[in-house]
Amino acid sequence: MTLLTLEDVGKSYGAVQALSNVSFQVGPGEIVGLMGDNGAGKSTLVKIIAGVFRQSEGTMRFQDKEVHFHAPVDARKAGIEVVHQDLAIADNLSAAANIFLGRELHRRIAGFRWLDHAAMAKRSGELFNELKSETRPGELVRRMSGGQRQAVAIARTRLADAKLILMDEPTAAISVRQIAEVLALILRLRDAGIAVLLISHRMPDVFDVCDRVVVLRRGRLVANKAIASSSPQEVTGLITGALETA
């Protein structure tokens, strides 16, 4: 079984052809690195898989069934969670409120559904512990460091029983120690049987944790290789175009 299959996926924003003929697969529990220069189309691809946009061409299959996501909720229902490049969290809310945004826990009092603050704080605390992140559930995101924000965005993906987690540059703009934490976390997700599509500009990230690397250049897939049979030099060449394909 393959988890995710893309076949000839393309996307245009008006006159801009951001993606064309992208085909690759992600297996269950596999960590795939997605690399490419600025504007190569990585975020666009993530947003298509996550149901934020529809592709203009091509088909997408999840667990061997063709899927048409009309909204992020559809992708989430199928078992796909995302950490967006700009994290998509609300600064003016607490960590716990962000984690549960759109799927709050409730309890019934006098016939009405009220937010269950205690349960959400408790679950958030557990998630942060699991992620070994030093983040308080009640803290406002506005007061948090980049690594803590990242932890909030990642903790969100752990609420449901996800099968595939898309991470758009989770290690950009955080400290070296925090990068190590995020990478360790990705390995732990894999151990739990969760597949990860990791977008990164950092070669060491990809070579540390990924099983395979997929390279996009100007919207086209130019490589899809096992990490074991590639090298940072080769991938750099593929990204810049010094190497045509591999």
Partner 1 sequence: MSDFSNVRQVSWHSRGFLASQTAYVTLALALLVAAISVVAPEFLSFGNLSNVLTDFSYIGIVAFGSTLVIITGGIDLSVGSSMGLSAIIAAMLFRALGPTAVAAVPGAVLAISVVGGLAVGATIGLINGLLIAYTGLAPFVTTLGMLSIVRGLCYAITNGQGVDITGPEANLFFRLSDGTLLGLPVPLLYLLALGVMMGLLLHHTARGRYVFAIGGNERAAALTGVPVQRVKTGVYVLSGLTAALSGILLGGWLGSVPANLADGYELRIIAASVIGGANLLGGVGGPLGAIVGSALIEVIRNGLVLARVNTYWQQTVVGAIIIAAVLVDRLRSRRLGQ
Ligand X SMILES: Nc1ncnc2c1ncn2[C@@H]1O[C@H](COP(=O)(O)OP(=O)(O)OP(=O)(O)O)[C@@H](O)[C@H]1O
User: Could you list the residues that contact Mg ion (CB under 5 A)?
Assistant: 43, 85
Contact string (CB under 8 A) for partner 1, positions 125-154, x = contact: x--------xxx--x--xx-x--x------
Q: What is the dihedral of CA 178, 99, 167, 17, to 10 degrees?
A: -140
Contacts of 35 by beta carbon, 8 Å cutoff, 6+ apart? 42, 199, 200, 201, 206, 213, 214, 215, 216, 235, 239
In the bound state with Mg ion, the residue whose beta carbon lies nearer, of 41 and 147, is 41
In the bound state with partner 1, the residue whose beta carbon lies nearer, of 29 and 125, is 125
Helix orientation angle between 146-157 and 176-191, rounded to the nearest 10 degrees? 10
Secondary structure element (H or E) that encloses residue 179, with its range: helix 176-191
The whole-angstrom separation of Cα 84 and Cα 35 is 15
- Binding residues for ligand X, total number by CB under 6 A: 12
Name the minimum Å distance from CB 198 to Mg ion: 13
Q: How many C-beta neighbours within 10 Å does residue 212 have?
A: 22
Which residues 69-98 are close enough to bind partner 1 by CB under 8 A? 71-73, 76, 82, 84, 87-93, 97
In the bound state with Mg ion, the residue whose beta carbon lies nearer, of 121 and 165, is 165
Which residues 34-53 are close enough to bind ligand X by CB under 6 A? 36, 38-44
Residues that bind ligand X (CB under 6 A): 13, 16, 18, 36, 38-44, 85
